[in-house]
């Protein structure tokens, strides 16, 4: 594809997302419309290789109209920076686009009403990898009832909205705000996410052979900013010959 055609495709995708967003501005498709300040559609690169899908807007997102702008969003930005990405290079959306009252879990009927719009976003963006943030997005897009403990940091090949993509679940950043252990797990999973983006399906290991986990020292300190202990940096340990588990 030439530079001009790539630019044209990107513009078309951005316009398609803008039309979809405009169509939802006054959405009355479920009871969440009664308490929202505004619809939180999504933000980022209209042709991003990596798309994040969370649960739904919180207080700050409802007020500002953008996804992940509170404390969990700040942590997400930091995690992206640690693997060399910015928010402008990815796309961020949610399962539901209006804030559930008191940040409660979205109800099944609310997910059913709103998820078709998420699928339209996926169809337009056509991401190579979708990183699901937490259990609601993972259950919906990976069609699984397994726990996040069982599936986080693993990849699954799926076809969504006509798009062949890879689902990569991680814990929701909100779970790591007050627990250092959860943050360390997220740092590890984002390092694997970078490998997945770099190598795609070649990074997957269906046979259960050598994996990134098997190459890590049990005593390795993988906290953010630590690049001098535990047998080398996270990037050094995640060599291209290593593989990610497939589930």
89-101 pLDDT per residue, tens = 999 999 999 999 9
**Which pTM does this prediction carry?**
0.83
Spelled out in words, what is the top-level CATH class assigned to the domain 30-245? alpha beta
The pLDDT of residue 245: 66
The pLDDT of residue 217: 32
| More confident call, 101 vs 245 | 101
The pLDDT of residue 3: 64
Does residue 36 have a pLDDT over 50?
Answer: yes
- The pLDDT of 100-121, averaged and rounded, is 97
End-to-end CA distance of the chain: 33
> Exposed, middle or buried, 194 (CB in 10 Å: 0-12/13-18/19+)?
buried
Confidence of residue 9 (pLDDT cuts 50, 70, 90): confident
Does residue 221 have a pLDDT over 80?
Answer: no
| More confident call, 179 vs 6 | 179
Q: Report the percent of the chain where pLDDT is more than 70.
A: 81
Task: Give the least confident one: 15-19, 43-47, 75-79, 199-203.
Answer: 199-203
The pLDDT of residue 204: 83
Domain boundaries, the chain: 30-245
What is the average pLDDT value for the chain, to the nearest integer? 85
The pLDDT of residue 178: 86
Strand 129-133 and strand 204-205: the pairing is unpaired
């Amino acid at each position: 594809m030439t530079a001009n055609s790539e630019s044209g495709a990107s513009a078309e995708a951005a316009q398609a997302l803008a039309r979809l967003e405009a169509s939802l501005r006054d959405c009355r498709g479920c009871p969440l419309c009664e308490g929202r300040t505004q619809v939180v559609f999504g933000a980022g690169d209209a042709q991003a290789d990596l798309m994040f899908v969370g649960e739904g807007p919180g207080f700050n997102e409802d007020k500002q109209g953008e996804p992940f702008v509170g404390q969990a969003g700040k942590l997400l930005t930091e995690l992206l920076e640690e693997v060399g990405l910015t928010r402008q290079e990815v796309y961020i959306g949610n399962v539901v686009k209006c804030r559930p009252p008191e940040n409660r879990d979205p109800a099944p009927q609310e997910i059913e009403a709103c998820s078709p719009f998420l699928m339209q976003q996926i169809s337009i963006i056509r991401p190579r990898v979708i990183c699901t943030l937490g259990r609601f997005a993972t259950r919906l897009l990976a069609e699984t009832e397994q726990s996040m403990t069982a599936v986080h940091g693993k990849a699954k090949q799926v076809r969504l909205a006509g798009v062949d993509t890879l689902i990569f679940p991680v814990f929701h950043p909100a779970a790591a705000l007050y627990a250092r252990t959860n943050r360390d797990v997220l740092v590890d999973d984002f390092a694997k996410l970078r490998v997945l983006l770099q190598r795609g399906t070649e990074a997957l290991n269906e046979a259960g052979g050598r994996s990134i986990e098997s190459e890590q020292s049990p005593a390795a300190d993988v906290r953010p900013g630590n690049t001098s202990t535990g047998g080398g940096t996270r990037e050094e340990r995640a060599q291209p010959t290593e593989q990610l588990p497939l589930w």
